[in-house]
Chain A
Amino acid sequence: MTPAAWIMLIITWSIIVYFTAKFFWKVLKTPHALKTEEQIEEHLDDEQQEMP
């Protein structure tokens, strides 16, 4: 492996491992991710009014 190849590999792998682990860890930590009823209803009301 050339030094340039090692550099590309390490940088790319680091970026991918970082974001994969970060996001998946967050998914594992918030298994349901429920929001408050108010937040949802507020949005759905807006939606219904705008619906054709």
Chain B
Amino acid sequence: MSSKEQWATRVGLVLAMAGNAVGLGNFLRFPAQAAQNGGGAFLIPYLVSFALMGIPLLWVEWAIGRHGGIYGYHSTPGMFHVMGEQSWLKYIGVFGIFTNLTIAAYYCYIESWTLSYVFHSLIGTFAQTDPKIFFSDYVGETAHSLFAFPLEAGIWFLITLALNIWILSKGLAKGIEMAAKIGMPLLILFAIILVVRGLTLPEGAPGVVQSPLDGLNFVWNPKLEGLTQPTTWLAAAGQIFFTLSLGMGAIHCYASYVSKRSDIALNAASAGWMNEFVEVILGGSLLIPIATAYMGLGAVQSATAGGGGFSLGFLSLPTLFNNWGWFAPIAGAMWFGLLFFAGITSSLAMGQPIMAYFQDEHEMSREKSAWLFGVSILILGLFCVWLYPGGAFDEYDFWSGTFSLVVFALLEVFIFSFVFGIDKGWKEITRGADIRVPKIFRFIIKYITPVFILVVFIGALIQPAEGNWILACQSLMSGDSWPFAANSVIGKLFHVGVDSAWFTSEGMGTKVMVQDITRLLLFALFAGIAVMIYLDFRRKGGSR
């Protein structure tokens, strides 16, 4: 249970942490969420959530990580184990292994799409083929089946996985840190080029139907009535939560390699604000303005109605770039390239905690643990690839990429404040700090942040149909049942709004069957990790 690995430079650490936070959601999800939840007014609850939940949780996770690292633990089970005397604490760390493993499985698959799309942009595929048809073929959706084994998607998935394993096996400084030092500047450079090109598209240029500034206006025009809607606040808090990669165990892991002599307060703040720069300034100015210029605002509004920008980013933008003449393949490669860099810096952060666990608890070499991570992701990922048309991908995303994060964050902030103790916790955050952390954050961490996360959790748990909380309350008051939204946790769990039968009348399997089997797999995995932790800690002779 020892690791001599350290970050080579402070800048490298901050870039790696920022790279962990910056993901595809910065460019695809944020602009759509902002546009659909009050426009410029969305930024008010967004920044409030960043101050009251984002930054405090970043400090908590960095502090837990560095504290665990002092005792030789670089993954969450050990880190929580040394936070108090209770024997159950180590099992909270199951989340930090489970979420990284399962998110990496489907995230590497999306990452492989971006890599493949870089290639197809460069060879001009999208000049001849409609990206919508291309995508359906690519993931095997056209087979009209619950199952698919798309050959090309599978090959790109393997390439992406091999790249992740190779970088991870090179080590913290020579692998992850180097990837962040290359990937993050390139990502920012590509984004700046595309933002400038997109926002300066003149009306009357080939294909341009509307000013790109109308798209920017769609993102930024404040609809102040949105501030009175609980949905807007929940969406803003949720976005902050996911964009900073909180509640995963990846931040803890990276921070555990920080020298005991080093600052964490400034590093955490710097990485957090860098993520905001990429998300709000670059992410908010790229996708929607370009799409508006070529598709018109009406089409963009309907494409982002669900609060996501996936269809614009993958299905529309490749065609729109064709209007840029000789620059089209380069623009496509830059767009998907920046998404790839955003993806790989995040997936590496998911790999490290898994490897760290096996290095700490089984004294496994870095290379071996990198391979073990790769094989695990391959097995879990292939399940996702194979059952993509049946909805396995969405199940992974919901239960591990959304639900599990919030639960873990809620538990960790509670443990940090009330089990570890806010006095020790505050000392841990401020030890060696290169900035003065305002004392008000001690109160915020103990009381405000847990309440904030609890509200997000309850909001996700019982979100009403169409997000209409007032109507739902009225419905409850009048003696009717609470109208759970299909995408609320309870709605998902009980398949609200869909027939929950596993088989059709013809005896064919349904999507519900795939969803339930996927849930069983995820639950079994979670339980399996808990058993592994029990056995590993017992083997080490710990009585607790």
Contacts and interface: CB of A to CB of B under 8 A. Distances in A.
A31 B262 contact: no
Given A16-B276, A44-B70, A31 B11 contact: yes
Contacts of B544: 52
B432 A40 contact: yes
Contacts, number: 113
Which residue, A7, A27, A50, has most C-beta atoms of chain B within 10 A?
A27
Interface string A21-52: 00110111011111100011001101100111
Interface stretch (B101-109, B267-275, B474-482): B267-275
B424 A44 contact: no
A23 B273 contact: yes
A5 B220 contact: yes
Given A2-B221, A23-B266, A52-B84, A13 B260 contact: no
A33 B276 contact: no
Interface in B273-293: 273-274, 276-277, 280-281
Contact of B434 (A1, A30, A43): A30
B442 interface: no
B431 interface: yes
Which residue, A12, A15, A31, A40, has most C-beta atoms of chain B within 10 A?
A12
Contacts of B434: 26, 30, 33
A5 B40 contact: yes
Contact of A1 (B216, B261, B273, B431): B216
A13 B281 contact: yes
B235 interface: no
B4 interface: no
B302 to A, nearest CB: 21
Determine the interface band of chain A, counting residues with CB < 8 A from chain B. 35 or more
A52 to B, nearest CB: 4
Nearest to B10: A31
Nearest to B43: A12
Contacts of B216: 1, 5, 9
Contact of B424 (A4, A6, A50): A50
Interface string B66-80: 010010000000000
B154 to A, nearest CB: 39
Contacts of A28: 11
B401 interface: no
B82 interface: yes
A33 B432 contact: yes
Interface in B218-273: 220-222, 260-263, 266-267, 269-270, 273
A51 B82 contact: yes
Given A27-B267, A35-B432, A15 B47 contact: yes
Contacts of B260: 40, 44
B269 A23 contact: yes
Contacts of B221: 1-2, 4-5, 8
A43 B11 contact: no
B536 interface: no
Contacts of A32: 10, 262
Contacts of B439: none
A4 B276 contact: no
Contacts of A2: 217, 221
Contact of B70 (A7, A27, A47, A52): A47
B9 interface: yes
A47 B67 CA distance: 9
Nearest to B18: A24
Given A17-B281, A31-B11, A5 B273 contact: no
Given A5-B222, A12-B47, A23-B273, A34 B262 contact: yes
A51 to B, nearest CB: 7
Contacts of A15: 47
A4 B40 contact: yes
B435 interface: yes
Given A12-B280, A52-B84, A23 B427 contact: no
A20 B274 contact: yes
A6 B40 CA distance: 9
A8 B40 CA distance: 6
B85 interface: yes
A11 to B, nearest CB: 8
Contact of B432 (A4, A16, A19, A39): A39
Contacts of A33: 10, 261-263, 266, 432, 434
Nearest to B220: A5
Given A12-B40, A43-B431, A47-B70, 15 more contacts: A5-B40, A16-B273, A16-B281, A19-B269, A19-B273, A19-B276, A23-B273, A27-B11, A27-B14, A30-B434, A31-B11, A33-B262, A43-B427, A44-B260, A52-B85
List the 4 closest A-B pairs by CB distance, nearest first. A8-B40, A23-B270, A52-B85, A5-B220
21 contacts: A5-B39, A7-B40, A8-B41, A9-B40, A16-B276, A16-B281, A17-B281, A19-B276, A20-B274, A20-B276, A24-B273, A24-B274, A27-B10, A27-B267, A32-B10, A33-B432, A34-B261, A40-B260, A47-B70, A50-B424, A51-B82
